[in-house]
């Protein structure tokens, strides 16, 4: 349940010093092949092949076979009280617009008859040890349409809130009308990561409502995350005023359930056992040699015993190799992969554990 606090400058005239609006938001699963409840009648696009992006996706662990899950919040609309009416046009992670129509008294206090609350950024948390950088961000979406542009960003972590803090990298924009459902957004220069937690996010600034831009980011099922809040969203309040607080909120605090958003950094990790990026039970180390000719060693670690899988894709998104491990012990692992049948070029690879997945890439030289 998300609590929106209305701090009334003239509140003593209405509900005392403070009014509190509580909107119960319910996470509801929606398959990709059905309409996302945003922009009435819209149908989710079918994912197509994108450069360096797999044509299909399995998130892993408790998220297995939930590639077709997108979560949106649903609540009775409109909701009316003595002081305001809430009109919602729908919600999906990365896309939201709620309009509050204020009573005459609150409108006078706020200086406006309406306030809009839009979610324009969604972000997912990872952790760095040693030296690594982000070269691209992969986002999986159920629906992407409109004339606006989307960018990918990298953020540090706020030491107090544990949410996103300073922006340390941003890509050029990518048009929503070019999205395929599985998309790579690239940084002009790799974004170096500092040791500790970081976030990769997707921003769609012009969003919500019929005729406006829509981006529905896929997620795992509710409950598919650690006790730490790994997924966060940012809200923008228009016009800026003291009645509604914007900024970052964890998905867990809004909905009372953790989940992971399918937003992934493509990692460039410096070789060495002290350099890695992790998420939940999975740690990814550098593959070597890179570039490689006929063979490459892919390195990863598991926090607990279980299954793992390596997948390698060419630049068209075609799966060219898959290696499955059914019973691995906890600890670090290496896998030598034959590259002799591959042409020279850049390849994307992923390592998937039972509850996490991460991406990197390597080059083949002949």
Q: What is the pLDDT of residues 118-129, one digit of tens each?
A: 778 999 999 999
Per the structure block, which two tokens stand in for 285?
Answer: 């180390």
Average pLDDT of 143-152? Answer: 83
What's the rounded Cα separation, in Å, for the pair 152 and 291?
26
Long-range pairs of 2-11 with CB within 8 A, sequence gap ≥ 24: 2/249, 2/253, 2/254, 2/255, 4/117, 4/244, 4/245, 5/245, 6/83, 6/84, 6/106, 6/243, 6/244, 7/242, 7/243, 8/106, 8/109, 8/243, 9/109, 9/242, 10/105, 10/108, 10/109, 11/109
Range in 20-34, 177-191, 312-326 with the lowest mean pLDDT: 20-34
Give me the chain's average pLDDT, please. Answer: 79
Residue-level length of the chain: 366
Q: What is the CA radius of gyration of the chain?
A: 22
Q: What pLDDT, on a 0 to 100 scale, did the predictor assign at position 142?
A: 74
226 has a pLDDT exceeding 50 = yes
Yes or no: say if 27 and 66 are a contact pair by the CB < 8 Å rule.
no
Q: What pLDDT, on a 0 to 100 scale, did the predictor assign at position 296?
A: 97
Q: What pLDDT, on a 0 to 100 scale, did the predictor assign at position 217?
A: 82
Q: What pLDDT, on a 0 to 100 scale, did the predictor assign at position 21?
A: 47
Q: What pLDDT, on a 0 to 100 scale, did the predictor assign at position 202?
A: 93
Range in 64-73, 122-131, 206-215 with the lowest mean pLDDT: 64-73
44 has a pLDDT exceeding 70 = no
What's the rounded Cα separation, in Å, for the pair 56 and 65?
11
Q: What pLDDT, on a 0 to 100 scale, did the predictor assign at position 298?
A: 98
179 has a pLDDT exceeding 70 = yes
189 has a pLDDT exceeding 80 = yes
Domains of the chain with bracketed CATH = 24-236+246-268 (no CATH), 270-364 (2.60.40.3080)
SS (H, E, C) the chain: CEEEEEECCCHHHCECEEEEEEECCEEEEECCCCCCCCCCCCCCCCCCCECCECCCCCCCHHHCCCCCCEEEEECCCCEECCCEEEEEEEEECCEEEEEEEECHHHHHHHCCCEEEEEEEEEEEEEEEECCEEEEEEEEEEEEEECCCEEEEEEEEECCCCCCEEEEEEECCCEEHHHCCCEEEEEEEEEEEECCEEEEEEEECCCCCCCCCCEEEECECCCCCCCCCCCEEEEEEEECCCCCCCCEEEEHHHHHCCCCCECEEEEEEECCCCCCEEEECCEEECCCECCCECCEEEEEEEECCCEEEEEEEECCCCCEEEEEEEEEECCEEEEEEEECCCCCCEEEEEEEECCCCEEEEEEEECC
1 has a pLDDT exceeding 70 = no
Average pLDDT of 96-104? Answer: 79
Q: What pLDDT, on a 0 to 100 scale, did the predictor assign at position 124?
A: 95
302 has a pLDDT exceeding 80 = yes
- Check residues 311 and 92 and name the one with the higher pLDDT: 311
5 has a pLDDT exceeding 80 = no
Q: List residues bridging with 102 in a β-sheet.
A: 84
Confidence tier at 20 by pLDDT (50, 70, 90): very low
90 has a pLDDT exceeding 70 = no
Q: What pLDDT, on a 0 to 100 scale, did the predictor assign at position 144?
A: 78
- Check residues 93 and 174 and name the one with the higher pLDDT: 174
46 has a pLDDT exceeding 60 = no
55 has a pLDDT exceeding 70 = no
325 has a pLDDT exceeding 70 = yes
Q: What pLDDT, on a 0 to 100 scale, did the predictor assign at position 95?
A: 58
Q: What pLDDT, on a 0 to 100 scale, did the predictor assign at position 11?
A: 28
Q: What are the φ/ψ torsions at residue 107 (nearest 5 degrees)?
A: -60, -40
- Check residues 180 and 345 and name the one with the higher pLDDT: 345
Q: What pLDDT, on a 0 to 100 scale, did the predictor assign at position 300?
A: 97
* pLDDT more than 90, % of the chain: 41
């Amino acid at each position: 349940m998300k609590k929106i606090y209305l701090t009334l400058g003239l509140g003593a005239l209405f509900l005392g010093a403070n009014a509190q609006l509580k909107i119960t938001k319910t996470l509801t699963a929606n398959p990709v092949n059905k309409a996302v409840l945003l922009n009435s009648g819209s149908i989710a696009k079918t994912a197509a092949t994108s450069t360096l992006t797999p044509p299909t996706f399995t998130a892993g662990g408790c998220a297995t076979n939930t590639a077709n899950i997108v979560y949106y919040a649903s609540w009775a609309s409109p909701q009316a009280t003595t002081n305001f009416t809430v009109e919602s046009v729908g919600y999906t992670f990365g896309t939201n617009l709620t309009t509050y129509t204020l009573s005459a008294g609150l409108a006078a206090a706020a200086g406006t008859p309406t306030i809009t609350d839009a979610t324009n950024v969604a972000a997912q948390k990872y952790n760095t040890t040693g030296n690594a950088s982000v070269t691209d961000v992969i986002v999986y979406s159920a629906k992407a349409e409109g004339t606006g542009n989307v960018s990918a960003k990298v953020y540090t972590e706020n030491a107090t809130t544990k949410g996103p803090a300073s922006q340390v990298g941003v890509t050029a924009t990518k048009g929503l009308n070019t999205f395929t459902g599985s998309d790579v957004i690239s940084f002009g220069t790799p974004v170096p990561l500092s040791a500790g937690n970081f976030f990769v996010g997707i921003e769609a600034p012009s969003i919500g409502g019929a005729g406006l831009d829509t981006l529905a980011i896929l997620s795992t099922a509710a409950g598919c995350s650690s006790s730490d809040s790994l997924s966060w969203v940012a809200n923008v309040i228009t016009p800026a005023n003291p009645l509604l607080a914007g900024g970052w909120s964890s998905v867990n605090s809004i909905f009372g359930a953790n989940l992971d958003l399918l937003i992934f950094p493509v990692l460039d990790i410096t070789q060495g056992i002290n350099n890695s990026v992790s998420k939940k039970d999975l740690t990814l180390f550098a593959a070597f040699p890179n570039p490689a000719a006929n063979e490459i060693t892919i390195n990863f670690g598991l926090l607990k015993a279980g299954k793992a899988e390596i997948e390698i894709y060419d630049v068209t998104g075609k799966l060219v190799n898959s290696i499955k491990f059914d019973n691995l012990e906890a600890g670090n692992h290496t896998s030598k992969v034959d590259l002799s049948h591959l042409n020279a070029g850049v390849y994307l690879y992923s390592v998937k554990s039972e509850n996490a997945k991460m991406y990197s890439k390597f080059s083949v030289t002949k």
